[in-house]
């Protein structure tokens, strides 16, 4: 299949496009498969996903269909400053899953 390379002139534009793309594929897989599998790493990805924590996505994405898994986690306690879990929880997951669970 053909793949496109997208280049953005500003990180803000990337975040906007990433939110739309993620919401679209979330809706597609939630409808087709009943679940959305998401694999998170740390670093700048969590920051780039920030637009999903805003309208309209916060209200329109079916977060209950998301199953979140980790990649590249560090061997530190979950509340450690170097933990990708903590980064994801603080910057993304706690905003889209009200109970903070994933």
For residue 101, being part of any structural domain is answered with no
For residue 17, being part of any structural domain is answered with yes
For residue 4, being part of any structural domain is answered with no
For residue 89, being part of any structural domain is answered with yes
Nearest one of 44, 67, 41, 63 to 52, comparing CA atoms = 63
Domain that holds residue 70: 11-96
Give the tens place of pLDDT for each residue, 58-100: 999 999 999 999 888 888 999 999 898 899 999 999 999 876 4
For residue 42, being part of any structural domain is answered with yes
Nearest one of 67, 95, 98 to 87, comparing CA atoms = 95
Q: For the chain, how many structural domains are there in total?
A: 1
Give the tens place of pLDDT for each residue, 51-66: 999 999 999 999 999 9
For residue 86, being part of any structural domain is answered with yes
């Amino acid at each position: 299949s053909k793949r496109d390379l997208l280049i953005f002139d500003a990180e803000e534009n990337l975040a906007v496009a990433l939110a739309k793309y993620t919401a679209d594929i979330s809706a597609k897989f939630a409808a087709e498969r009943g679940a959305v599998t998401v694999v998170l790493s740390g670093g700048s990805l969590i920051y780039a996903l920030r637009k999903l924590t805003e309208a309209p996505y916060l209200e329109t994405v079916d977060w209950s269909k998301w199953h979140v898994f980790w990649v590249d986690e560090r061997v530190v306690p979950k509340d450690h400053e170097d933990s990708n879990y903590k980064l994801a929880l603080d910057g993304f997951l706690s905003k889209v899953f009200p109970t903070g669970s994933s």
